[in-house]
Amino acid sequence: MLRVAALSKRFGATQALTDVDLEVAPGEIHALIGPNGSGKSTLIKILAGYHHAEPGAVAELDGEPFDLGQVTASRHDRLRFVHQELGLVGELSAIDNLALSHGFARTALGNIRWPEMERRTTALVERFGLGIDVRRPLSAATPVQRTVVAIAAALQGWEGHRGVLVLDEPTAVLPPGEVARLFDIVREVRDAGAGVLYVSHRMDEIFALADRVTVIRGGRRIATHPVADLTPRSLAELMAGEETETDHRPAPPSDRADPVLEVRDLWAGPLRGVGFDLARGERLGITGLVGSGHEIVPYAVCGAHAGRVSGRLRLPERSERWTEARDADGLGLPLVPADRAGEGVIGDFSVGENLTLPLLDRLRARSGRLGRRRESALAEDWIRRVGVHTAGRRPASARITTLSGGNQQKVVMARCLAQRPPVLTLCEPTAGVDIATRLQLYDLIERQADEGMGVIVSSSDTQDLLALCTRVLVVRDGRIAREISGRDITESALVHAMEGTE
């Protein structure tokens, strides 16, 4: 259905892709996997017409040649995309975003038929069973809701005849229930005879969904195999180029230390009186189904929740006094947000500027001017500590958008750690991150906990919870429904607690 040969792409001195071959058959789900920076997103953007391929590349869709890097109406209609950054306009509603690609329903006089547009959009989104007000701007939606809208936009009007659906990390922030619904839709597309190119870092998805998998590393195709011929370990070795440990699990919890953070009677959005203690050196997971409120907890604790919030928080080692939750930003607890692109980095800034942004007061000289040498030294030190990889000899000067998603995540974490907080709070810490970088992030988080920092991990990815957490709080209907500790933290226990089917 789709054939690409000798695909290469260079950005200045950087060779992003080198002679990559790829074939997607009709009625096949073909997974594309590789480390961050391996060239996956570049390949997808070339297929979409965003980048031009180097001369010599060959491409065919259903036997018909097409020019890589040139969008035509006919080709666009037969190649459908859900990009990693979603490609949505936050200021517009779901109705408007879907209409951008397929137009508005109009009367004979040219007026927009808004009731029909609302019904059409609602029907597309409800395939995922996710409640969302299709009339509100997407900037007010959660990352999960925005992902669903992007998938719905790609599928609208899709007949599945002689085409290819390309999905680039579609489940990065989706909880298990939503992933299962997406899988059903992807299989429907495949069963109708279309090809599906599925980019993912999550091995469980590849083994559950894909027929074949292609591994790229360093901009080159390393191998293509039937998924049935591989194991998680052998696939990880193809990705990393060496044997990689995939069964990362935390050490058993030690005796509970004194609390470093106390939260009482927290109300925000769907949350209904949530309270918990976080011990020094503890890695506490918080999870639940979409809409349960678990994803709001870290924002409320760090004073970053946009809506109304009430409750009390205390850092016992700093003060005996309680702080009202509405004033939680005064505690100075940093947050690694769920939406890295929208909330975590400033695209026009360099790596160093992104890293030192909350530390400028500390870096000012007596004259009030920013000490550039001190800023650069601090940035370079943390870049080295967390293992950020950039092109060029001056990593701190590289623009943040030239980094892979995993390296951007390391920069966001370094910015938080450089503030030397008693608590590190992370939301979806490995979303859109390959397995090698995921393990590096696990080790980094583990080291902070070993040094006495309290860590909160809010995640819909059970792999994160299994690998990182010594205790997990499951939120259901706005309340903590279950606490699971130590060896009792299993995928089955987590899913049943989230679904309420214990």
Boundary (domain end) residue, out of 419, 435, 450: 419
**Judgement on whether residues 502 and 360 belong to the same structural domain of the protein:** no
Boundary (domain end) residue, out of 419, 438, 457: 419
**Judgement on whether residues 251 and 221 belong to the same structural domain of the protein:** no
Strand 309-314's sheet: what is its strand order? 271-279, 259-268, 309-314, 323-324
450 belongs to a structural domain = yes
* Nearest of 133, 176, 110, 149 to residue 492 by alpha carbon: 176
Which H or E run includes 314? Answer: strand 309-314
- As a whole number of angstroms, the distance between CA 86 and CA 151 comes to 8
Q: How far apart are the first and last CA of the chain?
A: 44
Please identify which residue in the block is written with the tokens 């074939």.
23
**Judgement on whether residues 10 and 89 belong to the same structural domain of the protein:** yes
Please report, for the domain that includes residue 147, its CATH number: 3.40.50.300
462 belongs to a structural domain = yes
Can you count the helices (H) and strands (E) in the chain? Answer: 16, 20
Boundary (domain end) residue, out of 391, 419, 447: 419
**Residue 434: helix, strand or coil by DSSP?**
coil
483 belongs to a structural domain = yes
341 belongs to a structural domain = no
- Name residue 221's beta-bridge partners: 216
340 belongs to a structural domain = no
**Judgement on whether residues 358 and 428 belong to the same structural domain of the protein:** no
Tell me how many domains the chain contains: 3
DSSP per-residue string spanning 236-264: HHHHHSS-------PPPP-S---EEEEEE
**Judgement on whether residues 307 and 359 belong to the same structural domain of the protein:** no
Q: What tens-digit pLDDT sequence spans the chain (502 residues)?
A: 999 999 999 877 678 899 999 999 999 999 998 876 688 888 998 998 888 899 999 999 888 888 886 655 455 568 888 887 778 888 998 889 888 877 888 888 888 888 888 888 888 887 766 678 888 898 888 777 787 788 788 877 776 567 898 998 887 666 666 678 788 888 888 888 889 999 987 777 899 999 999 999 889 999 999 999 998 878 877 876 654 455 566 655 556 678 999 999 999 989 999 999 999 999 999 998 777 889 999 999 999 998 999 999 999 999 999 999 999 999 999 999 988 888 999 988 999 899 998 888 877 777 777 777 888 888 999 998 888 887 667 888 888 988 888 889 999 999 999 999 999 999 999 887 777 788 888 989 999 999 999 999 999 888 889 889 999 999 988 999 999 998 899 877 887 888 777 6
388-391 contacts at long range (C-beta below 8 A, 24 or more positions apart):
388/351, 388/414, 389/37, 390/351, 391/13, 391/14
β-pairing, 164-168 vs 323-324, is: unpaired
Q: Would you say 493 and 306 are in contact if contact means Cβ atoms under 8 Å apart? A: no
pTM of the model as a whole: 0.63
- As a whole number of angstroms, the distance between CA 146 and CA 55 comes to 36
**Judgement on whether residues 35 and 134 belong to the same structural domain of the protein:** yes
Give the per-residue pLDDT at 132: 82
314 belongs to a structural domain = yes
Give the per-residue pLDDT at 173: 62
Give the per-residue pLDDT at 490: 86
Q: Looking at residue 344, what DSSP letter applies?
A: I
Q: Which residues of 468-486 are buried (b: 16+ CB within 10 A; e: fewer)?
A: bbbbbbbbbebbbbbebee
**Judgement on whether residues 161 and 46 belong to the same structural domain of the protein:** yes
**Judgement on whether residues 75 and 188 belong to the same structural domain of the protein:** yes
**Judgement on whether residues 235 and 136 belong to the same structural domain of the protein:** yes
338 belongs to a structural domain = no
**Judgement on whether residues 429 and 396 belong to the same structural domain of the protein:** no
**Judgement on whether residues 276 and 396 belong to the same structural domain of the protein:** no
Please identify which residue in the block is written with the tokens 């230390």.
257
Enclosing domain of residue 260: 247-333+421-502
458 belongs to a structural domain = yes
Distance of CA 261 to CAs 29, 302, 317, 423, 482, Å?
46, 11, 9, 8, 20
**Judgement on whether residues 415 and 425 belong to the same structural domain of the protein:** no
Please give the backbone phi and psi of residue 495, each rounded to the nearest 5 degrees, phi first.
-65, -45
